Amino acid sequence: GLGDTEYHPHDLDSYCASPLDFAVDFLNPPTAQDSLGRLGEIDILQVIGHGGMGMVLKGFQPALNRPVAVKVLAPHLATSGAARQRFAREAQAAAVIMHANVMPIFSVDSQAKLPYLVMPFIECESLQQRIDRVGKLETIDVLRIGLQMARGLAAAHAQGLVHRDVKPANILLEQGVQRALLTDFGLARAVDDASLTRTGLIAGTPQYMSPEQARGDAIDSRSDLFSLGSVLYTACAGRPPFRAETSYGILRKITDTQPRSLLEVNPQVPIWLSILIERLMAKSPADRFQDAEQVAQLLEQSIAHLQQPQAWPLPVELQPRRAQPVSSDTIVALIAAALTIMIVFLVVGGVWIWRQRTTAQLMRARAAEERAIAVHEQRALEVLSAQALAAATAEPDAQIKDAVQPLTPLAQLDELDAELQRLQTDLDVLQRQHDLLMRDLVTPLPDELNE
């Protein structure tokens, strides 16, 4: 059947294309065998699916002898002016695009009791159905689908349209051929549409919205590229990049968190494909690829590389980043910086060692002085003690005689005084050297050493 015709902007479940018992009492009486009834000039043959805003019917146009698919607005929404405008907008958007990868619209009747669109009937399944059925897709299939979607979006963007609801359920895979079609332009807007730039307006499917779309900010064509990246992630991983229990939880993850690495989810994905998808899903539009045509070219080159890697190198944009070689100027600068640091270290270290040695010499001199003073005092005490003892024991005349004789201990005391004076002189010299050194240490270094 036609595949997914899911319209509801906040429905997280993919459309189920299996036939259902759907009320078709709005149809006119049938005029052909096996017909459920007529809708305008179209014989309705069967219900092939339904979505949040309506149903898809298989029909036949006798005048043109061709099968068609008819998308009908749900009865409970028929009184909604916004829903009717959406039908008309989808037809108008598809009419101006005219691209092989965009589902065309044959006609629209937005004034009928239940508005409807007439489209080609194609044996197909949606990408969402394919993922639900087989899980992760092969790399070549992901690239082919991505290439065709990028081309379809490039055609829409060239007409000034932003799709706003790119998701697996809106991508149809035609059976028997490797063709993918982008459908459901019901949320499409012109880039310069005032309603598109009004803050607080959120429309689309939460799991595949861009961050700016989730916030209700102004968007442009790069929003569709984020959604395309999310679709390719889902095709590679077998599940959406952002999941949560509620729509609000999903929107918060889209705006605030990074999805799990695609290489962790599916190690079979080439690194270069992961790089492309990560770039498409950059949080800031400025960090993404800037237009769908560039993405299409990269995907086309990637397919050629995957099939003939020797003949077709990877695009530069998809090659893993390598460490940049260090230039000779950088090496010279690093060596100069290292030498400067070494010189400063040596100068500071030398001054510190000199200061330590001088301080040690000064301390040794002071210790020698203290020892000399102690010896001098000890000897003086011994001399005085000897004199006192001699005075107490000597005869008076002998004391007189001794008094006029030179006293040998006193001479020794004089020699000690002289030696103490020499030590004091040496200590003064060392003290001056120490003061000069301290003055030099606090004097600023010359300018050439500071540079």
Q: For every one of its 451 residues, what pLDDT tens digit does the chain have, with 9 covering 90 and above?
A: 343 333 333 333 333 344 444 567 788 888 888 889 999 899 999 998 876 678 899 999 999 999 999 999 888 888 888 878 877 887 788 888 889 999 998 988 888 888 899 999 999 999 999 999 999 999 999 999 999 999 999 999 999 999 999 999 999 999 877 899 999 887 766 544 444 444 444 556 789 999 999 999 999 999 999 999 999 999 999 999 999 999 999 999 999 999 999 999 999 999 999 999 999 999 999 999 999 999 999 999 999 999 999 999 988 888 887 644 545 556 666 677 777 777 766 766 666 676 777 677 777 777 776 777 777 677 767 766 676 666 666 555 555 455 445 556 666 667 777 877 887 887 787 788 777 766 765 555 555 444 4
Do the domain assignments include residue 96?
A: yes
Q: Looking at the structure, do residues 310 and 351 belong to the same domain, yes or no?
A: no
Do the domain assignments include residue 192?
A: yes
Structural domain count of the chain: 2
Do the domain assignments include residue 12?
A: no
Q: Looking at the structure, do residues 384 and 267 belong to the same domain, yes or no?
A: no
Q: Looking at the structure, do residues 93 and 159 belong to the same domain, yes or no?
A: yes
Q: Looking at the structure, do residues 237 and 351 belong to the same domain, yes or no?
A: no
The whole-number pLDDT of residue 15 equals: 34
Do the domain assignments include residue 18?
A: no
Separation of alpha carbons 62 and 380, rounded Å:
145
Separation of alpha carbons 376 and 395, rounded Å:
30
Tracing tokens 């001098």 back to the chain, one arrives at 376
Rg (the chain; Cα; Å): 48
Query: Which residues have C-beta within 8 Å of that of residue 219, sequence separation ≥ 6?
Result: 162, 164, 196, 210, 212, 213
Do the domain assignments include residue 90?
A: yes
The whole-number pLDDT of residue 317 equals: 87
Separation of alpha carbons 322 and 341, rounded Å:
31
Q: Is the pTM of this model over 0.85?
A: no
The whole-number pLDDT of residue 352 equals: 63
Q: Looking at the structure, do residues 336 and 297 belong to the same domain, yes or no?
A: no
CATH number at residue 57: 1.10.510.10
Pairing of strands 124-126, 171-174: antiparallel
Q: Looking at the structure, do residues 67 and 193 belong to the same domain, yes or no?
A: yes
- Return the DSSP state at 326: P
Do the domain assignments include residue 2?
A: no
- At 6, give phi and psi (nearest 5°): -75, 125
Kindly provide the residue ranges of all beta strands, DSSP E only, lying in 319-398, ordered along the sequence: none
Query: Which residues have C-beta within 8 Å of that of residue 96, sequence separation ≥ 6?
Result: 159, 161
Q: Looking at the structure, do residues 298 and 172 belong to the same domain, yes or no?
A: yes
Separation of alpha carbons 83 and 7, rounded Å:
10
CA distance to 156, 160, 182, 187, 195, per residue, from 191 (Å): 11, 6, 19, 12, 10
Q: Looking at the structure, do residues 377 and 421 belong to the same domain, yes or no?
A: yes
The whole-number pLDDT of residue 437 equals: 67
Separation of alpha carbons 237 and 177, rounded Å:
24
- At 98, give phi and psi (nearest 5°): 50, 70
* Residue 42: its H or E element: strand 42-51
Do the domain assignments include residue 9?
A: no
Three-state secondary-structure class, residue 69? strand
Separation of alpha carbons 292 and 235, rounded Å:
19
Q: Looking at the structure, do residues 295 and 336 belong to the same domain, yes or no?
A: no
Separation of alpha carbons 53 and 50, rounded Å:
8
The whole-number pLDDT of residue 196 equals: 40
The whole-number pLDDT of residue 13 equals: 34
* Residue 149: its H or E element: helix 139-158
Separation of alpha carbons 124 and 183, rounded Å:
12
- At 109, give phi and psi (nearest 5°): -130, 90
Domain that holds residue 356: 328-450
Tracing tokens 């210790």 back to the chain, one arrives at 367
- At 55, give phi and psi (nearest 5°): -135, 165
Domain termination residue (choose one: 279, 296, 318):
318
Q: Looking at the structure, do residues 303 and 395 belong to the same domain, yes or no?
A: no
Domain termination residue (choose one: 267, 295, 318):
318
Separation of alpha carbons 173 and 170, rounded Å:
10
Active site residues: 165
Q: Which of 245, 249, 149, 267 is nearest to 209 (CA)?
A: 249
Q: Looking at the structure, do residues 290 and 360 belong to the same domain, yes or no?
A: no
Q: What sign for the dihedral angle of Cα 85, 91, 94, 100?
A: positive
Q: Which of 125, 139, 116, 129 is nearest to 44 (CA)?
A: 116
Q: Which amino acid makes up residue 273?
A: L
Tokens representing 244 are: 């949560």
Separation of alpha carbons 231 and 74, rounded Å:
27
Do the domain assignments include residue 221?
A: yes
Q: Looking at the structure, do residues 166 and 314 belong to the same domain, yes or no?
A: yes
Domain termination residue (choose one: 318, 340, 362):
318
